[in-house]
Amino acid sequence: MIIDIHGHYTTAPPALEAWRMRQIAAFDAGAPAPLASELQISDDELRDSIASNQLGKMRERGIDLTVFSPRASFMAHHIGDFATSAAWAALNNALCHRVSQLFPDHFIGAAMLPQSPGVDPASCIPELERCVKEYGFVAINLNPDPSGGHWTSPPLTDRHWYPIYEKMVEYDIPAMIHVSTSCNACFHTTGAHYINADTTAFMQLLSGDLFRDFPTLKFVIPHGGGAAPYHWGRYRGLAQEMKKPLLQDHLLNNVFFDTCVYHQPGIDLLTRVIPVDNVLFASEMIGAVRGIDPETGHHYDDTRRYIDAAHLTPEQRHQIYEGNARRVYPRLDAALSSRGLT
């Protein structure tokens, strides 16, 4: 089967965004926030929003299952305070859960966390627990910069983040390191902030020794690892100057890259440079880049075509499409196994 580990609910019914606008307006005005119950979206509306969009494209492209999380750019953890993020995360996670119940063969959830700048990440644990225990989610998205482009939180290797890591280890769930909208005019959200965050997170992990403290912790760095694979020689050299072990030993038991790289040469580099065990299929469809590439006649984000065309053996392709995802996301594997999919 083909598992896409990186899909966001970017086509949610417009009532969701309308609720968010009311929430932000209320926060700005110091007025009471809208109630969660004021957001009413029917199962039919959810079905429609998925069937004609995400699921339609999955079927066209032969993708069986997507690890599905709330829209990344809408997390906007920098808006409001913890209560704002808590209400917003709860609504979004609940919607992804409902989608996974409506289409259980095709979607399984990953949680957005109610992060807020300057707030202890331990505050995210109740939502994380609900998503794992009640919703059966198999991963979380962790925003290394809840300030939205001002980078005011400590690096990911800091003990600041340990409460989250302890829960990840306890539940055996990986985190995708994924920022949200940039509110810094220097950083275009999907063209700079996302890619920079991937690169930044990778370098934070390289500089530290986090996996000594958490040997089973697993991170997925999206968007093909930002700049890291392209500059792999630089990173090998920097690790060497810092007297770190080889990257293979220092990071690659714990750090994985997705395939959200939207052209053949990029995927060719990724699969040439990064061990196949560390590459997980993903498209981030329907996401930042929705057009058709005039050079190929296919959608830029139809990453399956690039993987199919890359110099890989059938066994390697199977690892990228399914095997690695089931290893890195043990709860996904358990869910599939419980359905007889081994």
In the complex, least distance from residue 295 CB atom to a copy of itself, rounded to whole angstroms: 8
Pair type for strands 107-112 and 139-142: parallel
Residues touching a copy of itself, count (CB under 8 A) = 58
From 199, 254, 278, 283, residue interacting with a copy of itself (rule: CB under 8 A) = 199
The single residue of 129, 166, 170, 284 carrying the catalytic annotation is 284
Contact call for residue 243 and a copy of itself (CB under 8 A):
no
Rank residues 203 and 220 by Cβ distance to a copy of itself and give the closer one: 203
Q: Distance from CA of residue 163 to its chain's centroid?
A: 19
From 11, 123, 184, 316, residue interacting with a copy of itself (rule: CB under 8 A) = 184
- Tracing tokens 């998205």 back to the chain, one arrives at 141
What is the phi/psi pair of residue 257, to 5°?
A: -120, 140
Q: What angle do CA 270, 297, 264 make, to 5 degrees?
A: 10
Q: Which stretch binds a copy of itself (CB under 8 A): 1-9, 65-73, 141-149, 317-325?
A: 141-149
SS3 per residue for 155-214 = CCCCHHHHHHHHHHHHHCCCEEECCCCCCCCCCCHHHHHHHHHHHHHHHHHHHCCHHHHC
Per-residue x/- marks for a copy of itself, 152-181, CB under 8 A? -xxx--------------------------
- Cα gap 122→116, rounded to integer Å: 11
Sites for a copy of itself among residues 221-240 (CB under 8 A) = 223-224, 226-227, 229-238, 240
The tokens of 53 are what?
């969009």
| Cβ–Cβ < 8 Å for 173, 132 | yes
- Cα gap 147→161, rounded to integer Å: 15
Annotated active-site residue 60? The verdict is: no
Contact call for residue 244 and a copy of itself (CB under 8 A):
no
Q: Which stretch binds a copy of itself (CB under 8 A): 130-138, 193-201, 247-255, 307-315?
A: 193-201
- Cα gap 321→249, rounded to integer Å: 24
Contact call for residue 276 and a copy of itself (CB under 8 A):
no
Which positions are catalytic?
Answer: 284
**Interface with a copy of itself by CB under 8 A: which residues?**
144-145, 149-151, 153-155, 184-188, 190-192, 195-196, 199-200, 203-204, 206-207, 223-224, 226-227, 229-238, 240-241, 261-266, 268-269, 272-273, 288-291, 293, 295, 300-301
